[in-house]
Amino acid sequence: MAFLSKHRAASEATYQELSKQLHKLPESARASVEQVWTTFGAAPSTTRHLILAGLLNQCCIPQLSFLHRSVPPLLRVDFIALTPPQVAFKILSYLDATTLCRAAQVSKTWQEMADDDRLWHHMCEQHIDRKCTSCGWGLPPLAKKRRRCEVTDHELIRTNQTGQGGDETMGNGPTLALEPAVVPPTGFSNVCSPTGVPAIGPLPPSTTTSPERPSKRQCTTSVAESTTANSPSSVVRPSKRPWKLIYSERLKLERNWRRGQYRLRVLEGHTDGVLCLQFDDEYIMSGSYDSTIKIWNSASGALIRSLRGHTRGVRALQFDQVKLISGSMDGTVKIWNYRSGQCLRTLPVGDSGVNCLHFDQTLLAAGSVDGTISVFNFQSGATTQLTGHTDWVNGVRILSSTELLSCSDDTTIRLWNLDTRTCIREFVGHVGHVQTFQLATHPWKLPISLQQQQPAASSSPHLGATAGATHFTGTAADGHESRHTASSSVSSTSSATVPRPLGGTFTANVFVTGGLDSTLKVWDIDSGRCLDTLFGHTEGIWSVALDSLRIVSASHDSTIKVWDTQSRQCLQTLRDHEGPVNCVALSDTRVISGGIDHKIRIWDFGLEDETQAAV
């Protein structure tokens, strides 16, 4: 390179040391040495080579040994300091995290370059929430923190103590103003249509949004803050955290996951088995056979309040920033203001129990014991039913405004078209009741060996909307399947296959199911193919949770297993429940489970140091 051909700058420290030694010599010897240095410094390059060759020819063995020790350090070139910054950044970007940290210890120049935020942002992009294609490591995703609003946990507990919005005074607390995008002015009433499906009617006056109350919750500020709110200098902007620190924190967390180092906490309060739960960084909410919903502080584990209103076990719940919706075996779905404890309205769902539910901004779906799925539209007020399952519906998930996925005790998983109200695809492979499923948040990269053959384009999910459902029978990871259609009007060419190359990977939108046959299955939702089957539990699986790195399953065998999404191997088994584990939830740092032993267990892997671990 060009910078290597440049003259090397003389070291000032070395020159000063030589000057000290020179002044110790006699006057005549000093003059001779200075004459040699001056002659050599003024000589051209070719003459210098000749002078050096003559000197080497006259050197004895100790003098040659001295040269051998002195020359190598002088030949070392600091290419990071000499190259342009863009080139140096490019070179350092090829290093792994360990080598990059070692590079930062070389010198101040190297430290400044190696600690640059751009390099560590690139490192985080390669590893966080995904597996690195080079090293194979993946780091837990960054948690999305919920916005802190006006009602704090302390205020909720104090509200219980003063008798406003507590367990025994439900309805006395402030009314929650629902966002218009979630619940329009025309909401659900307790009136049933002639077909038995809950109809949509006007909201009762006591539950309508007050004109004076804003539709969104406002964050409160103190008097001192309000007096200086208009001053530009009073605005405190959060400091930006270095990406190297973020990477370090995620790496420590991933090591805790891999080593099985966690802190275990137990929440007690339910008087019967825990059936369902959901949590975020503020709250843990759980439903139980004891007909109550309990709200806990996610950080401290303190019980904030209990919601009472259901007359039988609470089988399903889901909450967002403004509301909680629960489903019970008493055949009702209730919408709650969980910050005040007020039940806003009750939706009858036929005569059978509600086993599962899911909602988004416009739709609410509830699966029932009688095999039907009720879909409520918040905006239009329409209520529809999907029929096709022949046994309990154990899980529902709204995929879009036109598609819904469900699983059932009839051993099938079905994909529904909400416009036509028909099943457009049926996934068959479990030999026991399918109790749960979870969709992957990102497409998975899987080895091509799991996909020996891919159904042709004619097996599009939209084909079954008019011709009948397309059925897929999933077996194991060998890729073999038997496939048939529910209607003879589907062309026989739909069973044609397209060969795939033997090596490499493919990307698939997947979901994972768990059943009472003690297995987990990974499905490609687009092709309908069963991609893999996971064995390890000795009894039925009741609940599944997953993220981009891990699958967590809860089983009747009293254990929770953590699986790797890439290899589908069991990484560790969590044992502490004293009976079947009914539900499980997962975040970047925690696994939270509820069991038949009435307890909620929190397995916290986000330890500050290894001394906190309790394995």
Q: How far is CA 367 from the centre of its chain?
A: 26
Residue 284 maps to a domain: yes
Query: What whole-number distance in Å separates Cα of residue 37 and Cα of residue 64?
Result: 19
One-letter amino acid for residue 457 of the chain: A
CATH of the domain at 313: 2.130.10.10
pLDDT of 6 strictly over 70 = no
- Residue 575: how many CB atoms within 10 A of its CB? 10
Domains in the chain: how many in total? 2
* Of residues 174 and 258, more confidently modeled: 258
* Pairwise CA distance, residues 127 & 148, whole Å: 29
pLDDT at 325: 97
pLDDT for res 290:
96
116 and 263 inside one domain: no
The average confidence (pLDDT) of the chain is 77
> Considering the chain, what percentage of its residues have pLDDT values greater than 90?
47
pLDDT at 91 over 60: yes
Structure tokens at 50: 């000749």
Q: Is residue 304 part of a domain?
A: yes
Domain boundary, last residue among 64, 92, 127? 127
- pLDDT tens-digit readout, 191-206: 333 333 333 333 333 3
Regarding predicted confidence, which is higher, 450 or 472? 450
> Would you say residue 424 lies in a domain?
yes
Q: Are strands 541-546 and 497-499 parallel, antiparallel or unpaired?
A: unpaired
Say if residue 432's pLDDT is above 60. Answer: yes
pLDDT at 45: 87
β 422-428/505-508 pair status: unpaired
- Helix or strand or coil: residue 508? strand
Burial of 41 (0-12, 13-18, 19+ CB in 10 A): exposed
- Torsion angle, CA of 109/114/116/118, rounded to 10 degrees? 140
Q: Which of 166, 165, 207, 159 is CA-nearest to residue 183?
A: 207
Measured in whole angstroms, the distance separating CA 451 from the mean position of its chain's CA atoms is 26
Give the per-residue pLDDT at 590.
95
Strand segments, DSSP code E, in 186-262 are: 188-192, 198-200
State residue 203's pLDDT score.
Answer: 34
Predicted local distance difference test score (pLDDT) of residue 496: 32
> Residues 199-215: what's their mean pLDDT?
36
Distance, CA of 89 to chain centre: 30
Tell me the per-residue pLDDT of 474-488, one tens digit each, with 9 for 90 and over. Answer: 544 333 333 333 332
Please give the pLDDT value at position 608: 63
418 pLDDT higher than 90? yes
Helices (H), 76-205: 79-82, 85-92, 97-103, 108-114, 117-127, 153-161
Q: pLDDT band for 471, please (50, 70, 90 cuts).
A: low
522 within domain boundaries: yes
Higher-confidence residue of 190 and 612: namely 612
Choosing from 127, 148, 164, the residue where a domain stops is 127
Cα-flanking dihedrals φ and ψ of residue 97, to 5°?
Answer: -65, -40
Average pLDDT of the segment spanning 509-513:
95
pLDDT at position 615: 43
User: Can you give the residue range of the structural domain that contains 99?
Assistant: 79-127
Q: What is the largest CA-CA distance in the chain?
A: 122
| Domain membership flag for residue 381 | yes
Shared domain check, 418 and 563: yes
Q: How confident is the model at residue 144 (pLDDT cuts 50, 70, 90)?
A: low
**Residue 136 CB contacts under 8 Å (≥ 6 apart), including other chains:** 566
User: What separation, in Å, do the N-terminal and C-terminal C-alpha atoms of the chain show?
Assistant: 55
pLDDT of res. 213: 36
Q: What is the pLDDT of residue 472?
A: 52
Kindly state whether residue 558 falls inside one of the protein's structural domains.
Answer: yes
Looking at residue 452, its pLDDT comes to 56
Are residues 261 and 113 part of one domain?
Answer: no
Whether 122 and 259 share a structural domain:
no
Within 10 Å of residue 172's Cβ, how many Cβ atoms? Answer: 14
89: domain CATH number is 1.20.1280.50
Give the distance, in angstroms, between the CA of residue 255 and the centroid of all CA atoms in the same chain: 16
> Is residue 175's pLDDT more than 60?
no
Give the residues across from 175 on adjacent strands: none
217-223: average pLDDT: 39
Beta bridge partners of 335: 325, 345
30-85 tens-digit pLDDT: 888 888 888 888 889 889 889 889 988 999 999 899 888 888 877 777 788 878 88
166 C-beta neighbours (distance < 10 Å), count = 21
Please indicate, yes or no, if residue 1 is contained in any of the structural domains.
Answer: no
Q: Strand, coil or helix: what is 177?
A: coil
DSSP line for 66-96: HHHHHHHHHH---HHHHS-HHHHHHHHTTS-
pLDDT digits (tens, 9 = 90+) for 547-605: 989 999 999 999 999 999 988 999 999 999 999 999 999 999 999 999 999 999 999 99
Tell me, yes or no, whether 445 lies in a domain: yes
Distance, in Å, from the CA atom of 415 to the CA atom of 424, rounded to the nearest integer, reads: 6
pLDDT in tens, 307-332: 999 999 999 999 999 999 999 999 99
Residues in the chain: 615
Whether the CB-CB separation of 304 and 297 falls below 8 Å is answered with: yes
Is the pLDDT confidence value at 155 over 90? no
Question: Stretch 492-508: mean pLDDT, rounded?
Answer: 48
Measured torsion, CA atoms of residues 17, 19, 21, 26, in degrees rounded to the nearest 10: 180
**Residue 536 in 3-state DSSP?**
coil
- Give tens-digit pLDDT for 332-371: 999 999 999 999 999 988 788 999 999 999 999 999 999 9
**Does position 217 have pLDDT exceeding 80, yes or no?**
no
Residue closest to 277 by CA, chosen among 587, 590, 584: 584
